[in-house]
């Protein structure tokens, strides 16, 4: 999809050269427009993908392309554009964003106006809107105002998705790539101006005590309107709410923000400027929530009156604080990986890749081991090994050259060996990741054994995370594990094996302080 989109934009830019703006009023050549045709296809796709909310004229017939204000002689072009060319439209007036940050999410409301500057005044074309969103972006709503018409998005039931009366043909929504969404506005007249308001949510990144926001706000040069007296104004209103009543420390911002207000845990900023050209940099902002100690809490929300969903909601949060003197626990991790016959092929290869990726997330002071199992068990090492580069390399070679998927499934034996290896843990966090795709007949016996072992354990409780792979749901086994008071359940069985990479996320930069930490 991204490659096709880029090709259509490239063709659209080529067609836009037909437009005559008058003497001494030619568009500035952009890097993308003058790029060598020998560039790689991946570079082509990246160079033409939208880096901010943009609008494109969907051109099926090249003869439609002309300046609606100053018609010029254009040689007739035979044929049609298949797929349609996409000509980037010029932005007019003001571009505004209102951003509300709270905890680890931000809601972004973007509004702007575009003019169909490339289609004859007497003709019409569809307009495609592209919305690139930030980290883990999710579209919340769209409003469009065209001369004499308006559109808005609406949530519908899944079973109504094929109902032509409830789903407009004109929108034609689709994902371009990742969190880039696009849709179409039907039959917009050449020379007309339309406005769009689009709202989405995205995730704030958190690293070493700092929250970072990055919103796509980089416009290519060819969306700047041609003309000397066309005003351009950018406005960004940013509201930050830490949600926890702690002081906010601002770090850096990409645009010149003016502080509007400051309260405990809340701040407001404004960027408002008349510009010569539209922004060529994404909007970024970072801040810290200051606290010397580890702290957290729970927020509760009752359902609204007459809400069809009467369930209550809650939000848990935990901040690590800024106490650098606190010593962290090490991790001792054992991976139990199923190598039975049903894992043969892609499941086994994907599981290995995910496991190796997880090993890279360990710190050198952590230790690990790998136990592969079918009806037999195969240990990478008889002891827990330090997660050094050399040891991880040996583990990689062991997984690649010593194991093949074959035979039946015996889960109890490797669990017993893993528990034995972690029995003497006193100053680290013990973790077991069990990765399997098969059901076994002795689930209840396994769960009772594990539960009994954990009950008689020491002050630091073992954590066991189970990963069900493929389309076979280990329902009884998982429910029994979940019933045990010290076990975590990750039911991922309806997803394919790339989800095993989530193991990496569970271990990335997880540090457990010795103080203010309660073990179950």
> What are 435-467's pLDDT values in tens digits?
888 777 777 888 888 878 777 665 567 888 887
27-46 pLDDT tens trace: 554 444 333 333 455 555 56
**Residue 179 DSSP code:** T
pLDDT at 195 exceeding the cut of 90:
yes
CB distance 164 to 171 below 8 Å: no
Mean predicted confidence (pLDDT) in 258-280: 93
Task: Residue 331: name the closest of 363, 356, 366, 358 by CA.
Answer: 366
CA distances from 28 to 117, 223, 224, 444, 517 (A): 16, 10, 9, 72, 60
Q: Is the pLDDT of residue 506 over 70?
A: no
Residue pair 64/123 in contact (Cβ under 8 Å)? The answer is yes
Joined together, the tokens standing for residue 127 give 């307009």
Per-residue model confidence (pLDDT) at position 157: 67
Which of 407, 322, 331, 343 is closest to 369 using CA atoms?
331
- Give 91's pLDDT tier (boundaries 50, 70, 90): very high
The pLDDT-based confidence of 496 (bands split at 50, 70, 90) is: very low
Instruction: Report the run of H or E that residue 235 belongs to, with start and end.
Output: strand 232-241
Q: What tokens were used for 513?
A: 């302080």
380 with 421: CB under 8 angstroms?
no
- Give the best-scoring range by mean pLDDT among 107-116, 331-340, 494-503: 107-116
- Nearest Cα to 250, choosing from 284, 298, 205, 218? 284
Query: Rounded mean pLDDT of 211-226?
Result: 93
Query: Partners of 333 in the beta sheet?
Result: 368, 431
Proportion of the chain above pLDDT 90, given as a percent: 34
207/61 Cα distance (integer angstroms): 50
Compute the average pLDDT of residues 223-228: 82
Residues 117-171 have pLDDT tens digits of 999 988 999 999 999 999 989 999 999 999 888 988 877 766 666 666 655 554 5
Average of per-residue pLDDT across 87-107: 93
Nearest to 17 by CA among 87, 84, 92, 70: 87
Six token digits for residue 429: 């966090």
pLDDT for res 43? 58
| pTM of structure | 0.66
Higher model confidence: residue 57 or residue 19?
Answer: 57
Contact (Cβ atoms closer than 8 angstroms) between residue 55 and residue 128: yes
pLDDT at 345: 85
Buried b (16+ CB within 10 A) or exposed e, 49-64: bbbbbbbbbbbeebbb
Spatial distance between the Cα atoms of 431 and 329, rounded to a whole number of angstroms: 12
Long-range interactions of 291-295: CB distance < 8 A, separation 24+:
291/246, 291/319, 291/321, 291/322, 292/321, 292/322, 292/323, 293/321, 293/323, 293/516, 294/318, 294/319, 294/320, 294/321, 294/323, 294/326, 294/513, 294/515, 294/516, 294/517, 295/244, 295/246, 295/319, 295/321
Per-residue confidence band for 311, with pLDDT thresholds at 50, 70 and 90? confident
Greatest mean pLDDT among 174-178, 232-236, 448-452, 484-488: 232-236
- Token pair of 96, please? 């505004």
């Amino acid at each position: 999809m991204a490659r096709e989109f880029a090709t259509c934009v490239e063709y659209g830019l080529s067609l836009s050269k037909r437009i005559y703006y008058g003497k001494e009023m030619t568009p500035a050549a952009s890097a993308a427009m003058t790029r060598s045709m020998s560039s790689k296809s991946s570079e082509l796709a990246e160079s033409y993908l939208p880096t901010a909310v943009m609008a494109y004229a969907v051109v099926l017939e090249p003869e439609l392309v002309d300046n609606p204000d100053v018609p010029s002689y254009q040689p007739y072009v035979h044929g049609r554009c298949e797929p349609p060319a996409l000509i980037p439209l010029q932005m007019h007036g003001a571009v505004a964003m209102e951003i509300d940050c709270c905890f680890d999410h931000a809601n972004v409301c973007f509004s702007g106006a575009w003019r169909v500057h490339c289609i004859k005044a007497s003709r019409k074309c569809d307009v495609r809107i592209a919305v690139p969103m930030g980290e883990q972006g999710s579209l919340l709503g769209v409003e469009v105002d065209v001369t004499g018409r308006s559109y808005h998005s609406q949530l519908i039931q899944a079973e109504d998705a094929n109902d032509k009366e409830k789903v407009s043909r004109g929108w034609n929504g689709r994902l371009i790539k990742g969190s880039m969404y696009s849709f179409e506005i039907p039959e917009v007249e050449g020379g007309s101006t339309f406005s769009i308001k689009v709202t989405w949510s995205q995730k704030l990144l958190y690293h070493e005590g700092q929250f970072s926001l990055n919103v796509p706000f980089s416009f290519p040069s060819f969306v700047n309107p041609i003309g000397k007296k066309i005003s351009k104004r950018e406005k960004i209103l940013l509201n930050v709410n830490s949600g926890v009543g702690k002081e906010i420390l601002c770090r850096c911002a990409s645009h010149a923000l003016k502080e509007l207000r400051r309260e405990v845990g809340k701040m407001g900023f404004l960027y408002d400027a008349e510009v010569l050209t539209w922004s060529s940099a994404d909007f970024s902002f970072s801040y810290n929530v200051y606290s010397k100690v580890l702290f957290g809490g729970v927020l509760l929300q009752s359902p609204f009156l007459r809400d069809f969903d009467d369930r209550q909601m809650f939000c848990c949060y935990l901040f690590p604080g800024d106490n650098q003197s606190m010593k962290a626990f090490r991790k001792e991790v054992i991976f139990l990986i199923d190598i039975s016959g049903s894992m043969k092929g892609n499941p086994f290869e994907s599981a290995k890749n995910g496991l190796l990726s997880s090993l890279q997330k360990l710190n050198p002071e952590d230790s690990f081991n790998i136990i592969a199992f079918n009806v037999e068990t195969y240990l990478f090492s008889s002891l827990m090994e330090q997660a050094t580069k050399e040891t991880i390399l040996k583990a990689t070679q062991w997984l690649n050259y010593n194991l093949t998927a074959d035979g039946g499934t015996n889960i109890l034996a490797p669990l017993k060996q893993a528990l034995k290896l972690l029995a003497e843990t006193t100053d680290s966090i013990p973790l077991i990741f069990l990765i399997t795709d098969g059901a076994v007949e002795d689930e209840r016996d396994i769960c009772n054994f594990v539960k009994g072992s954990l009950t008689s354990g020491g002050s630091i409780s073992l954590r066991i995370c189970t990963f069900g792979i493929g389309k076979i749901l280990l329902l009884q086994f998982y429910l029994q594990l979940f019933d045990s008071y010290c076990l975590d359940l990750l039911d991922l069985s309806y997803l394919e094996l790339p989800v095993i990479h989530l193991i990496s996320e569970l271990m990335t930069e997880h540090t457990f302080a010795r103080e203010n930490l309660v073990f179950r």
